Structures are given as C-alpha cells and as structure tokens.
Structure 1
C-alpha cells in the first residue's frame, strides 16, 4: 500500500509508526525475529483490525468491548497486523447492542466493510471459504471474516439469514450476554435453552453453511445448539469455567460436547481468565491447556477478543474503560467479572508480537510444533472447511 492511499489521520499514524519501528523491532521476541513461526497460519477467531488509540468523532475510543467501530484502514493497525503474522480475523460487524434498527445498522456495517475491502485490495481480502484463508496467507494479505456477535438483526424473519449469507457473513453468534428471541445469553439468570424460533435459526444457519457461534450464550443454549445443529458449532472466544467460575467462561460439558461434534473452541485474552480480573500470559496458557485436555488438540484455537495494536496511553485508557464498563452495566449488557481495572488483554502479552509470544510460551511448556500450529490457526481452518467448504 502506498502513502497515496492513506487519509490524513492514517498518514500521520504511519509516520509515527515509522519513527518508532527500530524500538519495536528490538522489543520483539526471538521467535518473531528468527521467523520460527513464519509459516504458520494464524487465525484470530474473534478480534479486530483496529487502532484503539484513535478516537471517533465524538471523542470515544475506536474500539469498545464487544463492538468494533470500522473506519478507513489505519496504517499503524495494518502494519501491526503484518508484523503479528495474523492470516485472518473474525471481525465483529453489525448490531450488538444499543440504539438503531438492528437490521439497518447491520446492513450499513457490511457495506462499510465491503468498501474498505474494495479500497485496499492489496492489503485485505474478504474470506468466504477455508481456501480463502490459505490464499490470504500466500498473498500476504489479512483475511477479514465477517461475523456477528448477536443475531438480533434476524428479528422474526428467517429469510434474513439467507440475505446475510449472500452478503458474505460467515459467523453468526446466537446471543450476546442478555437473552434474545433465539436463546439465553450468559448473563440471563434463567439459563434456558434455545427457543422454538432459535432452533429454526440454527437450521437456517446450517442450510447456509454459516458458523453457529455460542461464545456469549448461556450453558443450556450452547448445549442444545450443539445437539440440534447438523454441522459442528463453535465457541470462538471463551475461557474455561473449571479454572475461573464466571458466566462468560464455558463449562467442561459445553467444551466437550462442542469438540465431540467436531467443532472449535477459541480461548480469549480477556479478564475472565483470572479471578482478580487482570489476565496474564500464564492464564491464557493455562486455559488453553485445560481446553486441550477436555477437547483434544484438534479443536482448540485462539479468539483474543482484542486488537493487535496495543494501547499507548494506559492512564487515559483506564478512564475510558471505567466509563465504558459503567455504560455497559447501565444498558444491561455487561458481564460478571468486568470492572474499571479489568483490561481486555494480557498486560504482559500484547501488541504485534502476541501470537509469536504465545507460541513460544507453549513451546516452552513442551507442546509440539505441530500442536502449536493447530492452535494458532490450523484447527480453525479445519473447522471452516467442514462448515464453509474448501
């Protein structure tokens, strides 16, 4: 991508990145510099290609928990993505919570991402099949997987699932934290399963070969979806409740059934991995290892639920985070374990070296190169082949 393709803000970010590049390179772990994992396909099963240091027109951060605010492709975010080695990212599009008509918000969001893909054809590509992920690796592009974190935009119209499939949506999460007309989210106290309409939605998602994601669902909704789905389902970003008993983490029963049905489980880098809310790299490794023990090595990956570009000004970020957590609580969409000091990333494993750092840590724990490459992205590609096709 040439400098002529940047808008003004992106050009300034790129120049700032260029000035900082020597220090950033020197800070990279040995694996990143030696290229030990350069051939690995890395898939972030839930993340973003955003610069969280940017502000929108209202002064809010470009990224908030659970909601990505797409804009023109930022130069620093793209450079960090390239350094990270990431091959593809499941990006959250459309309505998650808040105001506006969910369907209209979602259609506008898809159109905005499509414009971004058309504007930067040398840098990003839209992923429709598992083969597109592998092609993105060969072409040195970042693959964008269109995904939803709520199915509210379906409303009571099953045919909308067909529309979303035709527009290139490849992942639909059934619920966010509260209950909706499809099933109960992780924070719904009743912990009911799918509604009658929810079972129809799962069937329609299967018909369209869209991934059924149960990341924010309640336990019964997840178990029932895994049982009724004709295709394997996924939990693209979660932790293990056996290690930390919080609603956003999944029970061993959920993890095991998803794996037995041929599905995929992505471990996030979120505060729910540690009982004090301050996640560290060791916590991420521990949850991955527990998931491996429950699911087997063919069903576990990563879904960080975060960006690659790291926060620069942590003092300012803490103030923004406190406001965001309070707002989420007021709107009834927060989760137990969120707080003003619970960062949605590992403080000791963030930025563009995070995937290489994780691979090194797993290697040091005795995991084989083959297993680590499955966790980094191979397992997601296998699962994508089963659902989307090659």
Structure 2
C-alpha cells in the first residue's frame, strides 16, 4: 500500500515582505513601476515558494516620509494590483480566509494588503470602505510616532486613542478589516483592544517581559488581545534582546513566553522581513548606519535600533527560516499540532473570525 503524501504545513507571515533585497540598482530602476523600491523578481518568488510560505501580509501605502499619504497609498495599491496581475501562477490576492486555504492548496503565495500607518484615511472615514473595496485587509493604527489616531510606541506621552481613533476602529470593524496594534503605544493598544467590536491583532512584536523595549508588548497587552480572540505575531527583529543581536533562540524564547501568556491558539509569526536573504552582509552593514541615522532624524526610529544591529535575525533568514524555527520548537518539546498553529494555523483561524470565509 502506498504511503500517503505528506501535506506541507500552512505558513502565514503576519507581517513580512515579498522582495529580493539583492536586486541590482539597474533592476530596481526597472522595477520602480511595480511598487516603490521593491524588487518582486524571479528570485523573490522562487525563494518564497521554496520556503514553504503560504501567505504574507505585505506593507503597502504610506508609512512615513513626505509623500501625500492618501495619493501615495492609492498609487501603491495600483502598483501591487499590477504585480499580482503579472504573476497569476505565483501570487494570489487574499481577501478572505478561504483565499489563504486556496493559496495553500494551489501552491501559490497569498498576498495580503496591509497598512503600517493609518494616516492615509485622513479625517474621512469613508476611505475605510474605499480601501476595503480595493483589497486592503489589515490596518495598523500607528507607526512608532503619534498620529491623529493614537500614540505610537515611541510617543512619550502614551496618550491612547483619540476620539477620531475610536471612530476609526469601529469603521474598520464595520468593514471587517483587521485592527493591527503593532508599533502602538501601550495605552493605544489597550484602549483599541477594549474598544474594538471584533478581535484585534499585534501582527509583529516581541514580549516586553523578555526584552524591555518599547516596541515589545507588555503581558497586559498580550493577554487582553488574546482574551478577546485576537492574534499576536512574534517578529524576527533586534528588539527581541537588549543587546540588539537577536538569535533564533531568542525568537523561540519570545514565542514560549507569548504562548504562556496568550495560550497556544493566539500566537504566530510576523517576521517583519522578506524570505530572500541579503547576500553581502558586510556591504549591508556599511549602509546600515546611514539608514538608522535617517530614521532617527525623521523621528520614526525605535529604541533598540543602532548602527550595529541588524533588522533581522542573522541565523533565522533565507528559504529555510520557517523549517529552522519549526525544528527549534520541536527540540523544546512542542508538538506538531502546536507548531502548525504557530506557523500559520492561528493566523488563519483569526482571519476567519475577522474576515470570514
């Protein structure tokens, strides 16, 4: 009797990227029409497939800078629509949980449109419906700084949601969009999680009890999000350790703590990076100091970002990153069932609760 073919686990990156960071400058120029500085090329697509990735929440639209937020966001949505249209065999737009299951069945990469700053809404709540109709499915309320919706993690006042922010949360609920509280300040997170009529998420974060930095969430925040049926994604970022030099074992420690606080049904991964690894780390390190300085000058950097810290986990990158993490979790005694939940099952269940399908 022939043994059944093993089904690959469903892997959902709750916040990541779909790009080749090694694309030559000439290739970047040719790809400007695609999506800003992103290089969604053959290698990026091949690496995503090889990694076992099922779906990824990408960041599009305005996050920071001098661009007009609303117009720039519409431009990026159109650009990503064009990318998806050019790669129908590889990519699948995700609007419901069923689309994630379809991507898995068809061995395509599901692309979830998400914001990392909601300022493109402006003062017009009607734009929430517009963005939903254009395919946006995740809306992060703030970036690191404060905006007219609430305070980010680096805003010293920690003032919480504004009156407009409360209206916006309910407008997002009405359109069945995910309310993402990554990057938010503590009061903004707690108030939004309590105010929302639907479960909320923190798609990429760490645990402050493990590494006391503003970008990480307190146990109170984590517990409230989980208790209300939400989702918490642990990132592969330097904020996982006070040294800024995070390793794969640090990711595991944050996952263990998050599961202890939230339960195994509410935790997953949101790496905050692409699958394709940077090939020349020495050259990248030379550029990093200028990038960190520019973010600090613009007021959008976070405590823990330094010239000597990498915005990824060096030994947990590339096409084997999800398999490596699974092996590390298995070595901690975690069952295949729990690991499958962490890799993607919990995000899928959360998507069903918010989006339907």
TM-score when scaled to structure 1? 0.87
Instruction: Determine the C-alpha separation between the residues in 2 that align with 1:70 and 1:170.
Output: 22
Instruction: Determine the C-alpha separation between the residues in 2 that align with 1:160 and 1:202.
Output: 13
* Aligned residue number for residue 190 of structure 2: 223
Instruction: Determine the C-alpha separation between the residues in 2 that align with 1:144 and 1:309.
Output: 16
Which of 118, 141, 148 is the aligned partner of 2:115? 148
Question: Residues 46-102 of structure 1: CA distance to partner in whole angstroms, max 9, x if unpaired?
Answer: 001101112556989x9xxxxx84646311111110110000000000000001100
Between the two proteins, the alignment pairs up a number of residues equal to 349
* Aligned residue number for residue 63 of structure 2: 96
CA contact (8 A) 2:20 2:40 kept: no
Instruction: Determine the C-alpha separation between the residues in 2 that align with 1:58 and 1:38.
Output: 36
1:249 has 2:216 as partner: yes
Instruction: Determine the C-alpha separation between the residues in 1 that align with 2:285 and 2:6.
Output: 33
* Aligned residue number for residue 337 of structure 1: 304
* Aligned residue number for residue 12 of structure 2: 43
Question: Residues 256-294 of structure 1: CA distance to partner in whole angstroms, max 9, x if unpaired?
Answer: 000000000000000000111011000000000000000
TM-score when scaled to structure 2? 0.95
C-alpha distance 338-72 of structure 1, shift in aligned 2 (>3 A): closer
* Aligned residue number for residue 116 of structure 1: 83
In the TM superposition, 1:204-283 aligns within 5 A as 204-283=171-250
Alignment RMSD? 1.6
User: After the TM superposition, which of the residue ranges 163-172 and 50-59 deviates more from structure 2?
Assistant: 50-59
C-alpha distance 81-261 of structure 1, shift in aligned 2 (>3 A): same
Return the offset for 1:295: 0.1
Question: Residues 14-73 of structure 1: CA distance to partner in whole angstroms, max 9, x if unpaired?
Answer: xxxxxxxxxxxxxxxxxxxxxx9852110000001101112556989x9xxxxx846463
* Aligned residue number for residue 26 of structure 1: none
- Unmatched runs of 5 consecutive residues or more in structure 2: none
CA contact (8 A) 2:28 2:39 kept: no
In the TM superposition, 1:31-180 aligns within 5 A as 39-56=8-25, 69=36, 71=38, 73-180=40-147
Instruction: Determine the C-alpha separation between the residues in 2 that align with 1:37 and 1:304.
Output: 26
- Unmatched runs of 5 consecutive residues or more in structure 1: 1-35, 63-67
User: After the TM superposition, which of the residue ranges 219-228 and 338-347 deviates more from structure 2?
Assistant: 338-347
* Aligned residue number for residue 290 of structure 1: 257
Instruction: Determine the C-alpha separation between the residues in 2 that align with 1:366 and 1:276.
Output: 27
